Amino acid sequence: MGAELVGVVTTLIIVVGLLGSAGYLISQVRSQRSLRFSLAGFLVVYVYVAAFAGMLVTAIGGSQAVNAGLSKIISAEFSYGREVIREPSLAESEALGFSNTDSQAERSQILDDARGLQSRIDRENQRLDIDFRVGLWQGLALAITGAVIYGFHLAARLLLGSVGRMRELRMGYLCVMLAVFGLVSILSIPAAVAETMEHLVHITSIHNPDDYVPAAGPVVANVIVFTPIWLVVLVLLIRQVRRTN
């Protein structure tokens, strides 16, 4: 749910932003105001949009890396889930037609079952190891790439001088940040609690009716990464409002 939630919220914000921009342009045309292209204005808007994209990529990558870390701190199944592999019981063996005698055929069947069971366990452990390595290195790569993009465009904004520090654009940038990171955090917090409880119920249940232990790590990682950014942006906007009043 972690990456999917970020994608849904970001798409929603983009759609709302495009609709708002279209509405603004329509209102300008109807009011017969002239619309003139400004290269400086375009550059400033581009820098803010690219900086936001870099920050979002950094957060997504950081969330993946944190989820990989949680798999080592808590457990692999907490981050990536696990298939429940049960050893056939004596009743199941008898139902398949095997008697409880010490025959050669039964011993051979038991050995085959043990090999098959161990093979499934090995494959599941290998999957968890691959998921950890992919999540860690992919997350770090995304986080570093996003940080470079963000830093580059932040420097570009500073090079634009006073134009790049326009209060309206900065406020709009912070509002978009608040909307995206705030919505992801607000939706992730209750989801993290619910999915963690579900995970705990599955791993502590002796008779688990399901064949899979669901993961809770991705949404918990979202909370760990997105919530601090949301709170920082919220504080910055509150301070800005208090200055203007």
For 53-68, b/e burial (b = at least 16 CB within 10 A) is ebbbbbbbbbbbbbbb
With bands split at pLDDT 50, 70 and 90, how would you rate the model's confidence at 93?
A: very low
- Bridge partners of 213, per DSSP, are 82
Cβ atoms < 10 Å from Cβ of 20: 10
Kindly tell me if the per-residue pLDDT of 137 is higher than 70: yes
pLDDT digits (tens, 9 = 90+) for 200-235: 888 877 555 557 788 899 999 999 999 999 999 999
pLDDT digits (tens, 9 = 90+) for 168-186: 777 878 888 898 899 889 9
Distance CA 182, CA 184 (A): 5
What is the model's pLDDT at position 58? 93
**pTM assigned to the model:** 0.76
> Bigger pLDDT: 162 or 230?
230
Burial class for 169, CB neighbours closer than 10 Å (0-12, 13-18, 19+): middle
pLDDT digits (tens, 9 = 90+) for 20-69: 556 555 555 566 555 565 677 678 778 888 888 889 889 999 999 999 99
Percentage, residues of the chain above pLDDT 70: 64
Mean pLDDT of the chain: 77
Distance CA 136, CA 68 (A): 5
What is the model's pLDDT at position 192? 93
> Bigger pLDDT: 53 or 12?
53
DSSP-assigned letter for residue 89: P
Distance CA 55, CA 57 (A): 6
